[in-house]
Amino acid sequence: LAALLAEEAPALNGAVLHAGAREPAGDLPGLLAGRVTLRTVALYETAAADPAEALARLDTLDAVLVHSPKAGRRLAAVLDPATAGDLSFACISPAAAEPLAERGFKKLHASRFPDEGHLLRLLAEPLIETP
């Protein structure tokens, strides 16, 4: 996104509104400093939920979609490879997969591009194991 906005900067006549999370994953304002006037507004925030219900049904799952590095860290914290090691993880990016790999999960696949379409396509591909 930063590269696209920087490329379009000469054509912009005003500020760009960046509506996003209270705790953004990246530093878009920092990446665009001096090139694009960016106004940011936090429209949502993430909050950890109690995973007890989902954890009780792990044996009914074939795959887990991991939409962010924060979600990957949370899953790595609450899942045990000894009991959930057979799950396959489709991750939106290598950064989302990293905490799970560090925890010892093997069936990981990271999207080539960090968007919903590419993430969902992973479900149609065989998920590979990390070395």
Q: To which H or E segment does residue 110 belong?
A: strand 108-110
pLDDT in tens, 90-103: 999 999 999 999 99
Instruction: Give the separation between CA 18 and CA 42, rounded to whole angstroms.
Output: 9
Give me the pLDDT at residue 131, please: 46
Q: What pLDDT was estimated at residue 92?
A: 95
pLDDT at 1 over 70: yes
Q: First CA to last CA across the chain, in angstroms?
A: 32
Q: Specify the pTM.
A: 0.71
- 130 part of a folded domain: no
* Of the candidates 87, 98, 95, the residue with the CA atom closest to the CA atom of residue 65: 87
Percentage of the residues of the chain whose pLDDT score is greater than 90:
40
**Averaged pLDDT for residues 38-42:** 90
My answer on whether 77 and 97 are in the same domain is yes
Please say whether the beta carbons of 80 and 100 come within 8 A: no
Domain limits for position 38? 2-44
18 is a domain residue: yes
Alpha carbon distance 77, 18 (integer Å): 31
- In a domain, residue 129? The reply is no
37 shares its domain with 56: no
* Mean pLDDT, all residues of the chain: 87
User: Total structural domains in the chain?
Assistant: 2
Helix (H, G, I), strand (E, B) or coil at 35: coil
Do 40 and 65 share a structural domain? no
Assigned token pair, 59? 């044996």
Residue 117 in any domain: the answer is yes
Q: List pLDDT tens digits, range 67-84.
A: 999 999 999 999 999 988
- Is 30 found in the same domain as 69? no
Are the CB atoms for 46 and 21 separated by under 8 Å? yes
